[in-house]
Structure 1
Amino acid sequence: MKTKQLFALMGVIVTGVFLSACGRSQNDQQASTQTIRSAVSDQMATLDTAKYSDMISLEAMDNAFEGLYRFDQKGKPVLAGAQSVTSNEEHTIYTFKLRKKAKWSNGDPVKASDYVYAWQNIISPSTASPNSQRLDPIKNAQAIRKGELSPTQLGVKALDDQTLQVQLEAPISYLDELLTGAPFFPKNQKVAEKFDSKYGTTSKNAVYNGPFVVSGWQGTNDQWNYVKNKQYWDQKAVKLAKAEIQVVKDTSTAGKLYQTGKLDYTILGNEFAKQYANDPGYHTKKIPLIGYLGFNTKRDITGNVHARKAIAQGFDKQLLVKNVLNVGTPLNGIVPADFAYNSATDKEYRKQAGDLLPYDKKKAQAEWALAKQELGQDELTLEVLSSDTNEAKQVATYLQSQLEENLPGLKVNLRSIPLKSRLAATTAYNYDVVYGTWQPDYADPVNFISDGGQYHLNTDYTNQAFWNDLDQAATTYANDPAKRWETLIDAETKLIKDDTYTAPVYQGAMTYLLSSKVKGLSISPYGTVLLYRDVEVE
Structure 2
Amino acid sequence: MKFSKILGIISISAAAVLLAACGQSATGKNGSAGTASQVATIQTSSEIQTLDPAQATDGDSLTAISSNNEGLYRLDKDSNPIPGIASKVVTPTDDGKKYVIPLRHDAKWANGDPVTAQDFVYAWRRVLTPSTKASYAYLLDGIQNAAAIRNGKADPSTLGVKAVDKYTLQIDMAVAVPYLRVLFAFPTFFPVNQQFVEKQNGKFGTSADTILANGPFVLKNWNGTGQSWHLLKNKTYWDAKTVKLTRLNFQVVKETATAYNLFTSGKLDDITLTGDYAQNNQNNKDAVARRGSSIRYLQVNTKTKGLANADVRNAISQVIDRKNLANKVLGDGSVPPLGMIPQGMYQDPVTKKDFAQEAGNLAPTNVKKGKALWNSVKEKVGGKLSIRLLTEDDDDAKAIAEFIQGQIENNLSGISVTLTTMPQKAADAAAQQGNFDLYLKNWGADYPDPTTFLDLFKGNSSFNWTNWHDSQYDTALAAAEGADAGDPVKRTKDLQAAHTRLMAEKPVIPLFQRYVLHLNNPKVKGIVYFPTSYHFDYKYTYVTK
TM-score (norm 2): 0.89
| Deviation >6 Å, runs of 4+ | none
Whole-angstrom distance in 1 between the partners of 2:41 and 2:493 = 46
**Residue equivalent to 2:274:** 269
Secondary structure (helix, strand or coil) at the match of 2:364 reads: coil
**Residue equivalent to 2:180:** 175
User: Residues 372, 113 of structure 1: CA spacing in aligned structure 2 closer, same or farther, 3 A cutoff?
Assistant: farther
Matches within 5 A, 1:134-153: 134-153=139-158
User: Residues 374, 122 of structure 1: CA spacing in aligned structure 2 closer, same or farther, 3 A cutoff?
Assistant: farther
Q: CA deviation at 1:460?
A: 4.8
Q: Structure 1 vs Structure 2: percent identity of aligned residues? A: 35
Compare 479-488 and 104-113 and name the one that shifted more.
Answer: 104-113
Compare 103-112 and 339-348 and name the one that shifted more.
Answer: 103-112
State whether residues 262 and 268 of structure 2, in contact with CA within 8 Å, keep that contact through their aligned partners in structure 1.
yes
User: Residues 407, 144 of structure 1: CA spacing in aligned structure 2 closer, same or farther, 3 A cutoff?
Assistant: farther
Deviations 1:200-251 (A, max 9, x none): 1211122122111211111112111111122222122211111111110111
The reply to whether residue 457 of structure 1 matches residue 464 of structure 2 is yes
State whether residues 77 and 530 of structure 2, in contact with CA within 8 Å, keep that contact through their aligned partners in structure 1.
no
Whole-angstrom distance in 2 between the partners of 1:528 and 1:513 = 20
Deviations 1:107-140 (A, max 9, x none): 2322222222222222333333221222233233
Secondary structure (helix, strand or coil) at the match of 1:75 reads: coil
The reply to whether residue 310 of structure 1 matches residue 315 of structure 2 is yes
**Residue equivalent to 1:346:** 352
Q: Which amino acid aligns with 1:492?
A: H
User: Residues 123, 361 of structure 1: CA spacing in aligned structure 2 closer, same or farther, 3 A cutoff?
Assistant: farther
**Residue equivalent to 2:251:** 246
State whether residues 288 and 527 of structure 1, in contact with CA within 8 Å, keep that contact through their aligned partners in structure 2.
no
**Residue equivalent to 1:523:** 529
Q: Which amino acid aligns with 2:435?
A: N
Whole-angstrom distance in 2 between the partners of 1:60 and 1:116 = 22
User: Residues 417, 343 of structure 1: CA spacing in aligned structure 2 closer, same or farther, 3 A cutoff?
Assistant: same
Q: CA deviation at 1:448?
A: 1.5
Whole-angstrom distance in 1 between the partners of 2:468 and 2:128 = 19
Aligned counterpart for 2:25 among listed residues 17, 24, 40? 17
**Residue equivalent to 1:535:** 541
Q: Which amino acid aligns with 1:408?
A: S
Deviations 1:352-373 (A, max 9, x none): 1122232233443455456654
Whole-angstrom distance in 1 between the partners of 2:306 and 2:120 = 43
Structure 1, unmatched stretches of 5+, are: none
Secondary structure (helix, strand or coil) at the match of 1:451 reads: helix
Matches within 5 A, 1:335-484: 335-368=341-374, 373-375=379-381, 377-451=382-456, 456-457=463-464, 460-484=467-491
Compare 338-347 and 519-528 and name the one that shifted more.
Answer: 519-528
User: Residues 266, 408 of structure 1: CA spacing in aligned structure 2 closer, same or farther, 3 A cutoff?
Assistant: same
State whether residues 5 and 47 of structure 2, in contact with CA within 8 Å, keep that contact through their aligned partners in structure 1.
no
Whole-angstrom distance in 1 between the partners of 2:436 and 2:159 = 34
**Residue equivalent to 2:81:** 77
Whole-angstrom distance in 2 between the partners of 1:54 and 1:487 = 28
**Residue equivalent to 2:324:** 319
State whether residues 426 and 434 of structure 1, in contact with CA within 8 Å, keep that contact through their aligned partners in structure 2.
yes
Q: CA deviation at 1:303?
A: 4.1
Q: CA deviation at 1:166?
A: 1.2
**Residue equivalent to 1:57:** 61
Compare 419-428 and 391-400 and name the one that shifted more.
Answer: 419-428
Aligned-residue Cα RMSD (Å) equals 2.8
Whole-angstrom distance in 2 between the partners of 1:458 and 1:23 = 51
Aligned counterpart for 1:37 among listed residues 35, 41, 45? 41
Structure 2, unmatched stretches of 5+, are: 8-22
State whether residues 53 and 423 of structure 1, in contact with CA within 8 Å, keep that contact through their aligned partners in structure 2.
no
User: Residues 137, 197 of structure 1: CA spacing in aligned structure 2 closer, same or farther, 3 A cutoff?
Assistant: same
**Residue equivalent to 1:67:** 71
State whether residues 211 and 228 of structure 1, in contact with CA within 8 Å, keep that contact through their aligned partners in structure 2.
yes
Secondary structure (helix, strand or coil) at the match of 2:125 reads: helix
Aligned length: 526
Q: Which amino acid aligns with 1:522?
A: V
